[in-house]
Structure 1
Amino acid sequence: MKDEIILKSTDLFLNLGFKSVTMDDIAHEMGISKKTIYQHFKNKTKLVETTAMHVFNKIANGIDCICELDKNPIEEVYEIKRFVMLHLKDEKSSPQYQLQKYYPKIYSTLKRKQFEKMLGCVKRNLERGLSQGIYRSSIDIDFTARLYFNGMISLKDQDIFPREDFAMSTLMNNYLEYHLRGICSTKGLETLTLLHTNIK
């Protein structure tokens, strides 16, 4: 039952927001009593924390699987973006923003885990791109990886990018284009252009 509660709560939180969904809503959706939920989670904060980590672990594992495919580094960047967007429901309810606003401690822990995961993933991508000659040899790997993470986090800041003016899918596409054009070699730009042609 605990796993079922986590799965249903995750779905509701991602679609409607961490703040908007109540314990009553979850109980009603599942056709169970609220008391049953409290047998597994002492309060909503604990449930939010568990579901947030569940989503993080699911995405982290999926990213690991994509990286193991050893794709062209540029293709890998887009493949990871597609995977993340799919599992975050296109962030219609801006779950990360709500998490930051209403559950700052959970957000802080999650952000640290995301940083550690993404930093390692981006560094490996950059190293592979350099070795294949598709990224510029002059780039500073550690600096670029940290800048990339910081940019990704800022896309979710609704004070900078209000969701009514900026769709997350468009922001992500624009940001990846910005990132890759800044680090690609001439050979890499040819790959990027070809990739865009195939997408269209």
Structure 2
Amino acid sequence: MKEKILNTAAEMFLHYGFKSVTMDDIAEKLGMSKKTIYNYYPTKTKLVHAAATHIFHSIQNGLDEIRAAKPHPLEENFEMKQFVMHRLKDEKSSPQYQLQKYYPRIYEELNSKQFELMESCVQENLERGIKLGCYRKDIPVDFISKIYFKAMQNIKDPNLFPPEEYSKIYLMEQLMEYHLRAICTEKGIKKLEELIVKHE
């Protein structure tokens, strides 16, 4: 029962936002009383924390599986983007910003974990790409891994990119291509353009 509550709450928070979804909404969706939910999660904050952590771990596990398969470094970027977008369901409600505004402690905790995960993913990808001659040898790996993380955060800012004007898929595609074209060698650009056509 606890897992069912957690999974349903996580899906609803992703779709509608952490602030927008109430305990009444979750209870109605599950066809149970709020009292039953409170038996497992005494407060909404505890449920938000559990759901946000659950979402993070599900994404982490998916990314780890992609990395373990060792695809071509450029292909890895496309696979990760596709996985994350599928898991986050285009985030029409900007749940990250609701979490940041209404549950700042939870946001900061997860933000730190997200940074560690993405920094590790990007650094490993860059190092493999350099060895294969797809990325330039002179790129500052540490700087790029940090700045790419911040850019990923900023494209989720509804004030910068209003969701009614920009879809998250479009923004992620544009950012990824911008990132890759800046670091690719001629060999890498050729492979990148093949992948863009393949994934259209």
Alignment TM class, shorter chain as reference? over 0.9
Letter paired with 2:82:
R
Alignment of 1:94 onto 2:94: yes
Unaligned runs of 5+ in 1: none
- Give the C-alpha shift of residue 19 in structure 1: 1.0
**What does residue range 73-152 of structure 1 map to in structure 2 within 5 Å?**
73-152=73-152
Structure 1: distance between partners of 2:138 and 2:145: 14
Shift of 1:159: 1.8
| 2:115 alignment partner AA | F
Aligned to 1:156: 156
Amino acid at match of 1:71: P
1:67 aligns with 2:67: yes
Q: Which amino acid in structure 2 is aligned with residue 45 of structure 1?
A: T
Read off the aligned partner of 1:66 and give its amino acid letter: I
Would you identify which runs of 4 or more consecutive aligned residues in structure 1 move more than 2 Å?
none
- Cα distance, 1:197 vs structure 2: 2.0
Partners in 1 of 2:3 and 2:157 — Cα distance?
31
The separation in 1 between residues aligned to 2:16 and 2:93, in whole angstroms, is 5
Deviations 1:114-155 (A, max 9, x none): 000100110000000000000001101101100110110111
Residue type at the aligned position of 1:198: K
Q: Deviations over 1:180-200 (max 9, x none)?
A: 000000100010011122223
Give the TM-score normalised by the residue count of structure 1. Answer: 0.98
Equivalent AA in structure 1 for residue 63 of structure 2: I
* 1:176 partner letter: M
Q: Which residue of 1 aligns with 2:169?
A: 169
Q: TM-score of the superposition, structure 2-length normalised?
A: 0.98
**Cα root mean square deviation, aligned:** 0.8
Please give the alpha-carbon distance, in whole angstroms, between the structure 1 residues aligned to 2:162 and 2:90: 15
CA distance in 2, matches of 1:31, 1:96: 27
Q: How far did 1:15 drift?
A: 1.1
Deviates more, 1:19-28 or 1:173-182: 19-28
Q: Write the mapping of 1:189-200 to structure 2, written as runs, cut at 5 A.
A: 189-200=189-200
**1:28-70 deviation digits (Å, cap 9, x = unpaired):** 1111111111111110011001000000000001000000111
SS of corresponding position for 1:88: helix
Supply the distance in 1 between the matched residues of 2:13 and 2:119 (Cα, whole angstroms): 26
Once residues 166 and 101 of structure 1 are traced to their aligned partners in structure 2, the CA distance between those partners, rounded to angstroms, is 21
Percent of paired sites with the same residue:
51
Once the 2 structures are TM-superposed, how far is the Cα of residue 102 of structure 1 from its aligned partner?
1.2
Q: Which amino acid aligns with 2:121?
A: C
C-alpha displacement at 1:166, in angstroms? 1.3
Taking the aligned partners of 1:142 and 1:70, their CA distance within structure 2 comes to 21
